[in-house]
Structure 1
Amino acid sequence: MTVEFTSAPERFTDYSVSDMVRRWAEERPNEPAYISPNESTTWAEYDRLADDVRAALLSLGDIPAVTVYLPDTVALHATLVGAYRAGVLAVAVGARSGPAELAHLMAAAGSTVLVTTGDNRGRPVAELSSDLSARDATPAHLVLVDPTEVTVDGSRAVDDHRVSAEFSVDDVCMLNSTSGTTGRPKLVMQTQRRWNAFAAIACRNAAMRPEEVVAAFVPAPFGFGLWTAHFLPALLGRPALVLDRFDAATAIDLMARHHATILACVSTQFRMMLHNQSSDLARLDTLRVMFTGGEAVPYTEAARFEEVTGALVLQFYGSNETGAASATTIYDDERTRLGTGGRLIDEMRVRVLDDGTGQGGVRRGQPAVRGPLMSPGYWNDAAANAELFTEDGWILLGDIVEVDETDRLRVVGRLADLIIRGGKNISALEVEDFIREHPAVEMVAAVGLPDPIFGERLCAAITVTPESDPPTLEQLTSWLRQRGITREYLPERLRVLEAMPVAPGGKIAKARVRQLVQTNAGDDDA
């Protein structure tokens, strides 16, 4: 393997991250692979930690899947590589997920092994285990991964060099969670080849060079975070800058000190950096490109980011399930880069379905894609797959788009009942299910309200049962926290209504609810 990724990226779709880590551990053993504010891990250390994880998982015998619940540090990436080498399906869960979501995903995957760390974002593992046990999700085995040691049920893992059935790049080797386009969190099946292909397109669109330094600040277990923090650095053989918790000032300082050339962040994160008063974005004089997305990219602020840093803002339009349908490149004009989702990707077939007929051939409607970037679908969820795929095998996205005569795509609306806060897809249905369990709540509607930093903020409108006192926002969020609800699913505004608006068909009229919560004064705000 003498060819560099940047010279022929499409030739690297046959190589796994595991292959590339082995290569760099041999060729560049003492060069950094992952850098965070307080530590740096070399390629040799990354490779060795992955092998320790592999040994730990093999010591447990025949296990179908492990749940990976780790912060966005080298421990997460080494665990994904170690599971791949062991031939064990990895179920990757975001570090900010609460125990209720974690328990749900473990059950959905049939996983009884939890891979975590002694203290995940300030939460001791003993407390986490207790919370899971209370939800009938007690792990049969606990694997703890720290930068220098891997333990299994309290004992250090020992490699007995047994042979394992390592995955291929076309095998489903990983599951990650998504709100998707329908309902509750689901597990998306992932192969290595699809994300290699995604990284290859990004390499071409950004005209990447062999000396890139990637600052990857998107939560790593999800699609955007996967290709920027896990796949791209391994393919390049170059260091990735990572944070276990995003902080704008820390991110800017880390990028300046290590001369980052590529930044990957959701729109909320770059807005936070723009508005940060304690750090100077002009220090980022080596930054060439920022990949962003996960939500609508604000034109004015993106243009300002380009002006201050000199970096060009690029994006993809797509989802965890589809990969991507369109993308922008460094060769596009400003209007295309910042005002559209870019042009349709050559490698993907994209058709736009008219809402009324469900047939292709129109330029405005619901997009569907088919090609090498798409996922195999949802894990063991036939009902969800029936909504995700058309009958002839195309994956649907939950938006309404327009595609112009030059194949530039622009999102003009959303079909799915999702709230996108800081790049995180929040299912309104799931939020409503949680809040509806409160004893004082009679009806509930969750909606997103526009916000200049986060894109949308989560608002809950409720009516209360007779004879009940309405909860305050603080009381409601405290009640939800006690039940282990993930932080992003906690409402930031609460409106108590005398009656819930209902549409003629009997469903809650969400558009009317949104109007009411925007104008209603005197209720709680975070």
Structure 2
Amino acid sequence: MALGSGSLEVPANKKLCGMVNRLAFLCAGRAANHVGLGRLFLACCTRRKYAAPAREAIRVRGLSECSEVVVSNKATISQCVSNLAVTQGDARAFSTSEGSVSWRAYDEAANELARALVHLGVGVGDRVGVLLPDGPGVHVAFLAIERAGAVIVGAGARSGVKELVHLFGLTQCTVLISAAEHQGLGAVALRAELAEADVSLTLHLIVDSESGRQSEPLSETAGMDEEDAAARRHDPDDIWLLNSTSGTTGMPKCVVHDQSRWFVFHDFAVEAGQLDQNDVFMSVVPAPFGFGIWTAHVTPVLLGVPTVLMTGFDADAALDLIEQHRVTVLAAVSTQFIMMLNSAKIDSCDLSSLRVLFTGGEAVPRDRASVFEEKTGAKVLQFYGSNEVGAVSRTTLDDSSDRRWTTAGRVIKEMKVRLFDEQGADVTHTGRGQPGCLGPTLSQGYYGDPQANAKLYRDDGWMMLGDIVTIDDEGYLTVVGRTDDFIIRGGKNISAAAVEEQVGTHPRVAHVGVVAMPDPVFGERVCAFVELDGRSALDLNTLCAYLREHGTSKEYLPEHLVVLDALPRAAGGKIAKAELCSHVAALSNKLDSATCTQGKD
């Protein structure tokens, strides 16, 4: 396996092989020190004790398209798609405003791209970046990378050049699949900016974001024989995906995923929403991140049902698509379903097909959830968890409306949730504390970040979340606070420290402090307080234009700017965030909401 620092001989025992490969992969990325390895190994061993519901064995085609093989209930996403291409090839896999893609077309496009990757020298374990807008194409790319035996590096379509440099540099990614243009940069210009920051791509494939097919396909690509295809075939426990998540300092961290954790998450979701083969999914959340992974790439495939996708979210268009495709299961963050409620079309579109809305990423506003249920007839459900941990608790169709609207649901027993105080003592019996888990949906931690892993894992292997929660006598969990400095905007965790780092690069900014400003639609928005260096004034438009010009991702653009003569300081000299929050409370009703759209939406 091409890990960037040596190869690994494959043991005969497949389960042991999976764990050893994961640990070797993480070591190659300097993800763990001696202590971290012990924590990761304990977590890997413990989470495999989960017994997934049995799935029927399925018959799939080999990538060479010359034979069929029988696989067990440990089939991967790739193998499941191949099976669907045989058993229901003409049925819809994806639908968009542009048309539909069948399971057969999905399978063939992924095979074509996989063969191109292999033909051009992509090896087993190589990291392949994917930078595509949401749509069928991103899923074709994910599937092709899996079939080539490589590892997906998922970059959000809103990522700026700085974030791409960080992500691709950290993961040692030298191959990229993208559309012809990214945020106004053509392919040549994008490669040049990456190269200027010492991220040199050896291979860059341009694909159509709708079909996933190459804009200029190779005239000939050699197929893989069965031996080669088998050698490249992923096991569900193998490293499959690296994606970014917001950190409390600097650039985002990178989370390591296998497919097994998402198969377990799927099982939890099926139970919660009573999902079956009659459902039609619509996922309007970004594909490279956890919520988008299970609602667009995993669960619809395991159920064999179609998924409606949008390249960019628009409330009116989303409502039209729900009506047109008779969507039954919608996946959207709270901000998105609130925008749907605010649309004039909410009362004119026929939404009677909807039965479940899965939401999450932020607190679900009770009043808006009740209105959504009243207008659509759908039940609003949520999972509480994180990209790192997976699922911790969930609401289900069996829960009362009061429980669904005011709590994050019952703790999932398989996740073995404990509560800890600030000193690390187990205070589960008190019903209040910072949650930690040791269950089957845990990720494999952070890639290339031993300090972050030391904070993420306890010495006993429990993986921690950054919230303070309460758990009542019936097992219902409620989030009551945070331990990390995040702004949750539209379900996206935005690191205040990361925004401060970007804003602080402006030559007129001497000091900066970033806090959340309450917002009725997005939950919170990014508010930057700055102290200038004594030169000319600075306004929000000028600041955001500067940041965009220098490659800052949209998520890290401030939406409010407050200039102070001097930022308040705590006794130790640090910026007093509590005072800034109080200042925000006084300002929130005065600031013009028109200043909240600086290129983010």
Please tell me whether residue 525 in structure 1 is matched to residue 595 in structure 2.
yes
The ranges of structure 1 where at least 4 consecutive aligned residues each deviate by more than 6 angstroms after the TM superposition are 521-524
Query: What is the aligned counterpart of 2:162 among 95, 100, 107?
Result: 100
Q: What residue number does 2:96 align with?
A: 36
Q: Say if 1:365 and 1:277 are closer, same or farther in 2 by CA, change over 3 A.
A: same
Aligned to 1:3: none
Residue type at the aligned position of 2:544: T
Deviation at 1:56, TM superposition (A): 1.8
1:183-198 aligned within 5 A: 183-198=250-265
Partners of 1:40 and 1:412 in 2: how far apart? 43
Residue deviations 1:79-108 (CA, integer Å, cap 9, x gap): 111111111011001111112111110001
2:287 counterpart residue number: 220
Counterpart CA distance in 2 for 1:48 and 1:118 is 22
Kindly indicate whether residue 538 of structure 2 is the aligned counterpart of residue 478 of structure 1.
no
Distance in 2, matches of 1:522 and 1:336, equals 35
Matched, 1:269 2:336: yes
- Greater displacement, 179-188 / 258-267: 179-188
Classify 1:399/1:87 alpha carbon distance in 2 versus 1 (closer, same or farther; 3 Å): same
1:364-383 aligned within 5 A: 364-383=432-451
Secondary structure of the residue aligned to 2:417 is strand
Q: Is the 8 A contact 1:53 1:145 kept in 2?
A: no
Determine if contact 1:273/1:281 at 8 Å carries over to the other structure: no
Match of 2:204 among 125, 142, 151: 142
- The one-letter code matched in structure 2 to 1:358 is A
Distance of 1:420 and 1:116 partners within structure 2: 28
1:401 is matched with which residue? Answer: 469
Asked if 1:49 corresponds to 2:109, the answer is yes
Counterpart position of 2:481: 413
Deviation at 1:32, TM superposition (A): 0.7
Other-structure match for 1:429: 497
* AA matched with 1:169: P
Alpha-carbon separation, structure 2, partners of 1:355 and 1:386: 15
Give the TM-score normalised by the residue count of structure 2. Answer: 0.83
- Aligned partner letter, 1:239: P
1:21 and 2:64 equivalent?
no
Change (3 A) 1:157 1:308: farther
What is the CA RMSD across the aligned residues, in angstroms?
A: 2.0
Q: More deviation in 500-509 or 195-204? A: 500-509
In structure 2, what is the Cα distance between the partners aligned to 1:79 and 1:10?
29
Residue 51 of structure 1: how far off its partner (Å): 0.8
5+ long unaligned stretches in structure 1: 1-7
Query: What's the offset of the Cα at 1:324?
Result: 1.1
SS at structure 2 position matched to 1:11: coil
Cα distance change of structure 1 residues 33 and 120 upon mapping to structure 2, 3 Å threshold = farther
Asked if 1:309 corresponds to 2:379, the answer is no
Partner in structure 2 of residue 4 of structure 1: none
In the alignment, which residue of structure 1 is the partner of 2:190? 128
Q: Which amino acid aligns with 1:446?
A: V
Q: What residue ranges of structure 2 are gaps of 5+ in the alignment?
A: 1-50, 56-72, 597-601
Which residue of structure 2 lines up, in the alignment, with residue 89 of structure 1? 151
Alignment of structure 1 residues 320-399 onto 2, 5 Å: 320-361=387-428, 362-399=430-467
Whether the 8 Å CA contact 1:181–1:397 is kept in 2: the answer is no
Once residues 526 and 421 of structure 2 are traced to their aligned partners in structure 1, the CA distance between those partners, rounded to angstroms, is: 30
Percent of residue pairs bearing the same amino acid type: 43
Residues 131 and 176, structure 2, Cα contact 8 Å, conserved in 1: yes
Deviation digits for residues 399-425 of structure 1 (CA, Å, limit 9, x no counterpart): 000000111000000111111111111
Distance 1:32 1:436, change over 3 A: same
Q: Pick which of 308-317 and 147-156 moved more.
A: 147-156
**2:397 partner SS:** coil
Number of positions where the alignment pairs a residue of Structure 1 with one of Structure 2 = 518
Answering whether residue 54 of structure 2 is matched by residue 11 of structure 1, we say yes
- Kindly report which structure 2 residues correspond to 1:149-168, keeping only aligned pairs within 5 A, or say none: 150-151=213-214, 155=218, 158-162=221-225, 163-164=228-229, 165-168=232-235
Q: Is the 1:403–1:410 contact (alpha carbons within 8 Å) kept by the matching residues of 2? A: yes
